[in-house]
Structure 1
């Protein structure tokens, strides 16, 4: 079987790899390529969000394809509340993380590809995202303790993956939400399809460059963290704005908080103006060194 090349070179040969397979063409290509590359060393899961009447049958159809190829398969049923796409994604990854942990899987692979990356970059540009957001879909990131999420198909085009599935004689499931005009991703996909000058491969290449830049800034942040933060106070003198933002964000993260970007910007502006500020559970004080300490409890009204 031809495809985008070895998928799992960085994962030890003896490890069993989890595959998230929805039944769509991208994840089915991942199943076919993964099963061929690591026979007996992949296990698949399909998440049934229960959002469409046919979702259970589609999950069971994936199970039948897996059985034909000797791949163990599980259906994970989740309930979705709130904003459908965001809630479905959160529920899906939570269920897949628990599934990996239950089966001793250290890696979970998904079928994200070049076209997904290009769509993501356009969506985040439209939202005014910063560098970390514009870096797009990461090739690897932690999913949950002990489990790494990997995207081995990020170098492949969607058309290439569709061809692999068609060559295997498989009819993939088609989720109608992928054509729903209410969603930003649908609009980004339509823009890419209708503008020949927007090359998804080049956009994905830009996202890769941005990811490298983001990693470089994280390296610089690590060094500044060791040199500038003593556990209670930060020396902000002469730091570039982005490095300063990352350090203050890391201070909050070390206390289990992830403030919104606008709130964090307001706190930094207050400190730069010589004013104390409270955000979440931390109170920050200005000066030569900015201090951070638990905020006093609010008085009941």
Structure 2
């Protein structure tokens, strides 16, 4: 197997240490590589740190004519190093293009990982991504779940494989240095400089704020993730005390903690098959506290004798 251009041994050691924590069993990983500088740097680090311990997939969303060339760039980099690489073609649904593309990408990657019997999918989110995410969500008034940012390891209910982010301890500049040192060609996605997107605007603002410590922001997101997990665990403890299943749905007896009431309300709705957004749950919580009810995500909620009853919304009559 051909060796990539030498990378600073300290960076390789940091990457290996991250993988030891996120993939302790040492199972073969699937690297999601777009062809951009961050994911290509992850490929180069993996080639040095765990040779033979990973496979690569690159996703063609079919949204831009350049996509096929970007996928070909990833394939060529893998062929040069004797690495297995597969191109995954997906179709993106209508609506929020970025959200739909992300959902299609993760679904394709999860199916690929399951087919290839891979232990986890590694993506190239890094310190700067985490800082941007935290500030964007602060600007939107997000709660603890949103402020927890990108998780280092994540198990999603809709995917059969774990997602890991071994670069969350790396800065964008460090990854750029790896690419420059290797002389590796990378793709440039024009959407990454399109100010119509919130993340691009936040990135431009951060570029002018040299007094902001991105690593400290990312560490705050990590602390918030730990707080989120603790709250989720406590909500599971409270579930049998505050939630009762009925023939038609669920009854929630609210307690003294508004946060736990909100969290359990969301859990009940999810148990009933709903997929409510955080803002929708917060608005419904306020209405229930005021003795009113409402319809959210196909679920009808009302107050009765001091408890909150939740049942499936009846089908709408037509004709």
TM-score with structure 1 setting the length: 0.92
Please state whether the residue corresponding to 1:8 is helix, strand or coil.
helix
**What residue number does 1:297 align with?**
315
Shift of 1:171: 2.2
Shift of 1:230: 2.4
Q: Do 1:192 and 1:199's aligned partners in 2 also have CA atoms closer than 8 Å?
A: no
Please state whether the residue corresponding to 1:283 is helix, strand or coil.
strand
Residue 37 of structure 2, aligned match among 6, 25, 43: 25
**Aligned counterparts of 1:272 and 1:55: Cα–Cα separation in 2:** 50
Please state whether the residue corresponding to 1:268 is helix, strand or coil.
helix
Shift of 1:276: 4.4
Taking structure 1 as reference, are residues 52 and 292 closer, same or farther at Cα in structure 2, changes over 3 Å only? closer
Q: Which runs of 5+ in 1 are unaligned?
A: none
Taking structure 1 as reference, are residues 292 and 123 closer, same or farther at Cα in structure 2, changes over 3 Å only? same
**What residue number does 1:146 align with?**
160
Please state whether the residue corresponding to 1:230 is helix, strand or coil.
strand
Please state whether the residue corresponding to 2:301 is helix, strand or coil.
strand
**Aligned counterparts of 2:206 and 2:291: Cα–Cα separation in 1:** 47
**What residue number does 2:19 align with?**
8
Shift of 1:194: 0.5
**What residue number does 1:243 align with?**
260
Pairs within 5 Å for 1:84-99 = 84-99=97-112
Pairs within 5 Å for 1:120-139 = 120-139=133-152
User: How many positions carry a matched residue from both structures?
Assistant: 300
**Aligned counterparts of 2:277 and 2:228: Cα–Cα separation in 1:** 19
Shift of 1:12: 4.6
Matched, 1:180 2:197: no
Shift of 1:248: 0.3
Residue 260 of structure 1, aligned match among 265, 272, 277: 277
**What residue number does 1:271 align with?**
288
**What residue number does 2:76 align with?**
64
Please state whether the residue corresponding to 2:155 is helix, strand or coil.
strand
**Aligned counterparts of 2:185 and 2:66: Cα–Cα separation in 1:** 15
Q: Do 2:30 and 2:118's aligned partners in 1 also have CA atoms closer than 8 Å?
A: yes
**Aligned counterparts of 2:24 and 2:225: Cα–Cα separation in 1:** 25
Shift of 1:29: 1.3
Shift of 1:75: 0.8
Taking structure 1 as reference, are residues 277 and 56 closer, same or farther at Cα in structure 2, changes over 3 Å only? closer
**Aligned counterparts of 2:194 and 2:306: Cα–Cα separation in 1:** 53
Decide which moves more: 19-28 or 134-143: 134-143
**Aligned counterparts of 1:186 and 1:296: Cα–Cα separation in 2:** 42
Matched, 1:48 2:60: yes
**Aligned counterparts of 2:194 and 2:289: Cα–Cα separation in 1:** 45
**Aligned counterparts of 2:61 and 2:206: Cα–Cα separation in 1:** 28
Taking structure 1 as reference, are residues 178 and 254 closer, same or farther at Cα in structure 2, changes over 3 Å only? same
Please state whether the residue corresponding to 2:58 is helix, strand or coil.
strand
Q: Do 2:32 and 2:121's aligned partners in 1 also have CA atoms closer than 8 Å?
A: yes
> Deviation digits for residues 234-265 of structure 1, max 9, x if unmatched?
22132x11111000000000011022334323
Shift of 1:124: 1.2
> Deviation digits for residues 17-44 of structure 1, max 9, x if unmatched?
0000011111011111122222212010
Q: Do 1:136 and 1:211's aligned partners in 2 also have CA atoms closer than 8 Å?
A: yes
Q: Which runs of 5+ in 2 are unaligned?
A: 1-6
Q: Do 1:40 and 1:70's aligned partners in 2 also have CA atoms closer than 8 Å?
A: no
Taking structure 1 as reference, are residues 103 and 267 closer, same or farther at Cα in structure 2, changes over 3 Å only? same
